[in-house]
Chain A
Amino acid sequence: MNNRVVSEKPQAVYFYGTCLIDLFYPQAGIGAIELLRREGVSVIYPQSQTCCGQPAWNSGYRDEALAVARRQLALFPRPIPLVIPSASCAGMMKMHYPALFRDQSDEATALNVAGRVYELTAFLVDVLDIRLTDLGDPVSVVVHTSCSARRELGVGDKLHTLLRQLHNVEILEPENSAECCGFGGTFAVKQPEISAAMALDKAATVRATGAQRLVSQDCGCLMNIGDVIEKQNQVMPRQHIAELLWERTKN
């Protein structure tokens, strides 16, 4: 699916780091920003950003989700794209803000912001048509495509489009690749037993590929799968796609 809204390469974009990247995977955010800047796009990072509101929205706490989401809306007034290095959070803003803000006084603003949201990999491929030169050593990576990227936004293939440009990267797919890893945000808290069983299954298929690294466009999945693999005392570093791309293509 081509999710392109703007017709030409924008001069500037807003960047939304997501709370998970902010706290656990800042290198993913930095990598993404560096990639965007190298393409000649200036990046605006509003420091007042916190969380998109998805955890509360998915838990049924709509008032709380609304309050948090409303606070984010105010950060993106200019008519430029909003790039998010997470399909899950991008999906929240793009697909669920319209429902969350339905019949609210700022519904129009929410729709406007939702319309400008891009998931990072889709933005790099569809809007920037980015060209990458691999400068890294040979490495094999196993790809986990998040459910939000695959099914909610329909941009699951962008990750592969990007990785295929890196000649020294061998791309491996786990068996049953379309299956959810079992994170599901608050699901992992509310139904920890099922979540654990799913995570174990996913980690097993990921490990079975024998890849050197685990890559995804979503840090929630990376944390879930990667922490299982670590617990099993296996070495398979996890990387957000942006971090990997930047690491292998920077001069």
Chain B
Amino acid sequence: MSTEFRSNVAHALKQDAVQTHLRTVVDRLRAHRQGALSDDAAFEQLRNRCEAIRADAIRRLPDLLEQFESNAQRNGIQVHWAETTLQANQIVLGIMQQHRATFLVKGKSMVSEEMGVNAFLQSHGIDCLETDLGEFIVQLADEKPAHIIVPAIHKKRREIARLIHGHFPGLPYNEDIETLAQSVRHFMRDKFRAAPVGLTGVNFMVAETGTLCLVENEGNGRLCSTLPPVHIAVTGIEKVIARLDDLPPLLNLLTRSATGQPITAYVNMINSPRRPDDKDGPDEVHLILLDNGRSRIAGDPELLETLHCIRCGACINHCPVYRQIGGHAYGTVIPGPIGAILEPQKQGFNAAAGELPQASTLCGACAEVCPVRIPIPAIINRLRWESVRKNQQSQNSRPVVPGAGSGRKPLEALIWKIWAWCCTHPGIYNRLTKLATRLRNRLPADMGVWTAVRKAPKPAQATLHEHLRTMNIDHE
């Protein structure tokens, strides 16, 4: 059965060079994280604490959002709420139009990707320039990010050199990474200087102080939020934390899990727009709080742990499936294990992303590295059930994800029924397994993709049940 996801996968697996490169980079990211975890016991303590911080924040989400809003507003930040990505885009557009702005500079933001703000504004004659090096490369290639932390993870330097050379034909072709980065720096400087509006994401919102916290290495996020007269920050409602004291452990865990750094070059804590005494900083700071399904997810005691995510990307880096297929095959803004649980919940099982819970061997590598211990395999299991569940009224829990049950295929359901019947009737089960052993040399050798790379599995000459009947074993 071919699906959008499976054809994406087939396409991705054919790209040998991309695959080899992807594995090299993913392995490097894993090594970086491993290098940052010198003290296991301390790290586990840190995880305990951060897990509790996120659980607490999501449990008290409405209260904390109101507390955050009132503190941020008191500081002069304009807070906007958007139920859908369309609403969020319209708010951005409104601000742009109010300032007669036709151009904005953008810092890296996954929520802005979720909104599709670039395309939306483009259709209204407004240009968005990605300023993060990786995002800029992806924008030049007219692609989507392949990773939430390393957007251009799939690109080799030669390809990047060609892209940059194509964009700045005046510059000599060069594959040196430093030269490439400096070319981009040079180009961007003028843009930062002239931009009327800067747009960024947010890593954490602190309810207690109304602070927006942004984490980055390049400085483009600071430039976007400092130089233009208007700063627009976009974020999901789940990014709130209760206290300023919650920030240090989360920062520590976030950067170490993501790239193995003890801290990023910049932690940018924005409290207000320019105050009367200030000589720089934006005159207006707008924060757009996007829901887009999050409040629905928060209504389910199992699924809400999805919202604990701090977007470090560790699960992506450690996922064997991601390592094979890369980010684009998922066809979603967020790839990897976290994407495989978050995107179907947002988009529903009828969407292409509805198949993503199948993109897992349940090997548990994601849960093992998740800094806030999101039980990703358990949520995958839950979503697989939601996708094929029936008799929705008879269950005491109502379906939370749109399209629940739509993944149920009659033939598959029938196979499981037959399987269950056999396994609940030992006599039948034993006769069937015995039959399989007797036909062991006559079973089909071609079993599709399985046998394209493997020999067909061959039953033993006799089952264990049979062997043990002849041994001196108590069969009770």
CA distance A230 to B455 in the complex (A): 6
CB–CB A23/B473 < 8 A: no
CB–CB A47/B413 < 8 A: no
Q: Does B365 contact A (CB under 8 A)?
A: yes
CB–CB B459/A200 < 8 A: no
CA distance A49 to B425 in the complex (A): 10
A151-B363 contact in complex given A59-B388, A61-B416, A193-B449, C-beta closer than 8 Å: yes
A53-B423 contact in complex given A59-B388, A147-B361, A192-B448, C-beta closer than 8 Å: yes
Q: Does B324 contact A (CB under 8 A)?
A: yes
Q: Does B471 contact A (CB under 8 A)?
A: yes
Q: Does A212 contact B (CB under 8 A)?
A: no
Name the distance in Å between B465's Cβ and chain A's nearest Cβ: 6
**How many A residues have CB within 8 A of the partner chain?**
75
Give the interface size class of chain B.
35 or more
Q: Does B364 contact A (CB under 8 A)?
A: yes
Write out, one digit per residue, whether chain A residues 37-80 have a CB within 8 A of any chain B CB (1) or not (0). Answer: 00000111111111101011111111111011001000100000
Chain A residues numbered 135-187 whose CB sits less than 8 Å from any CB in chain B: 147-148, 150-152, 176, 178-180, 182-185, 187
Task: Identify whether the interface residues of B are mostly helix, strand, loop, or mixed.
Answer: helix
Name the distance in Å between A64's Cβ and chain B's nearest Cβ: 4
Partner of B358, one of A50, A67, A187: A187
CB–CB A47/B6 < 8 A: no
CA distance A44 to B473 in the complex (A): 6
Write out, one digit per residue, whether chain A residues 7-30 have a CB within 8 A of any chain B CB (1) or not (0). Answer: 000001000010101111111011
CA distance A33 to B472 in the complex (A): 11
* CB-CB nearest in chain A for B468: A45
CB–CB B453/A199 < 8 A: yes
Q: Does B263 contact A (CB under 8 A)?
A: no
Which of the 9-residue segments A105-113, A121-129, A221-229 touches chain B? A221-229
Partner of B388, one of A61, A183, A192, A198: A61
Q: List 27 A-B contacts (CB under 8 A).
A: A33-B468, A33-B471, A42-B474, A46-B476, A47-B465, A51-B423, A56-B416, A58-B384, A59-B384, A60-B383, A60-B387, A62-B389, A64-B417, A71-B424, A147-B365, A151-B363, A183-B361, A184-B360, A190-B358, A192-B448, A192-B449, A193-B13, A195-B450, A196-B450, A197-B324, A200-B453, A227-B457
* 3 tightest Cβ-Cβ pairs between the two chains A and B: A184-B361, A192-B449, A60-B384
Residue ranges of B at the interface with A (Cβ–Cβ < 8 Å):
6, 9-10, 13, 27, 320-321, 323-325, 358-365, 367-368, 378, 381, 383-389, 396, 407, 413, 416-417, 419-420, 422-424, 426, 429-430, 433, 436-437, 448-460, 462-469, 471, 473-476
